[in-house]
Amino acid sequence: MPVTTRQVGPCFAAEVEGVDMTRPLSADQIKAIHAGMDQYAVLVFHDQKIDDEQQLAFSQSLGELEQAVGTSLRAPDEYRLPTTFADVSNLDQHNRVFARDDRRRLFAIGNRLWHSDSSFKVVPAKYSLLHARSIPSKGGNTEFAYMRAAYDALPDETKAEIEELICEHSQIFSRQQLGFTDFTEDELKRFKPVRQRLVRVHPGTGCKSLYLSSHAGSILGWPVPEARAFLRDLVEHATQREFVYAHKWRVGDLVMWDNRQTMHRARPFPVNEPRDMRRTTLAGDGPTVAQAAA
């Protein structure tokens, strides 16, 4: 089946027809999906009735998987899904909704801040693929902001100022913004900051984009309050409505986005309702700036 795309909302999001993830992809389909990701940055595939294995197979046909190990506050014996998945549900290993004050839930609320997946890893994520297994009765949208358009819209003076800047990213910084600060010694060690360029060049298109994330908490060589105020201004600029696509989920949707040129955030939903979202992630090609491995 030929793969076709149709733009939805702003210029960087499209719906895809002609892909059935219960079956292996042809070489042409794989090529078309990658081309679609270069042309847009968010692709929406509706009505995909897939299980974990099929989601894994689809993801692996597009690239190498990133493992989700030690990136949440779930203890190793509390995982609900294998580490080939990032469990972005609000469910414990017995499929029960987390209590409102559960520490694992409160940490995960960090996903409601604008971010780019795994920007806190030395090699950050390339694509994320999020599949909706069950959704709440209201709320829970995912919003995407297009960092390429946000970069283009900056004044030349700002572009020159940020060209060579390096930020430090950590989940500690994003959680601090929400008042979540009671990290254990082990967690502080695990969430040690990594370095990322603030301006990235997309290898497929050669275009520059802002590489922002709520995980960014400092700029090398800058005083911290000045860096945070500056980053906050950039995020405010980059998430103006003209740069944003809001995805309202249907069960069976799989949304794939390019973390190198978008940010995203989850929106709130009723506390007691399950939201079972399963994310597979494709690993990036390498670090955005040379540094010691984590």
Interface residue list for Fe ion (CB under 5 A): 117
Q: Rounded to the nearest 5°, which phi and psi values hold at 62? A: -100, -15
Residue 245's nearest CA partner among 40, 38, 34, 3 is 40
To the nearest whole angstrom, how small is the minimum distance from the Cβ of residue 129 to Fe ion? Answer: 11
Q: Which is nearer to Fe ion, 32 or 66 (CB)?
A: 66
Q: Which is nearer to Fe ion, 5 or 71 (CB)?
A: 71
Q: Which is nearer to Fe ion, 3 or 87 (CB)?
A: 87
Burial class (CB in 10 A: 0-12, 13-18, 19+), 260: buried
To the nearest whole angstrom, how small is the minimum distance from the Cβ of residue 68 to Fe ion? Answer: 11
Q: Which is nearer to Fe ion, 112 or 195 (CB)?
A: 112
Q: Report the distance separating Cα 95 and Cα 122, nearest Å.
A: 32
To the nearest whole angstrom, how small is the minimum distance from the Cβ of residue 234 to Fe ion? Answer: 19
Q: Which is nearer to Fe ion, 66 or 117 (CB)?
A: 117
Q: Which is nearer to Fe ion, 29 or 239 (CB)?
A: 239
Q: Which is nearer to Fe ion, 71 or 288 (CB)?
A: 71
Which residue is at the shortest CB distance from Fe ion?
Answer: 117
To the nearest whole angstrom, how small is the minimum distance from the Cβ of residue 22 to Fe ion? Answer: 25
To the nearest whole angstrom, how small is the minimum distance from the Cβ of residue 244 to Fe ion? Answer: 15
The end-to-end CA distance of the chain, in Å, is 43
To the nearest whole angstrom, how small is the minimum distance from the Cβ of residue 46 to Fe ion? Answer: 20
Q: Which is nearer to Fe ion, 87 or 117 (CB)?
A: 117
To the nearest whole angstrom, how small is the minimum distance from the Cβ of residue 115 to Fe ion? Answer: 6
To the nearest whole angstrom, how small is the minimum distance from the Cβ of residue 182 to Fe ion? Answer: 22
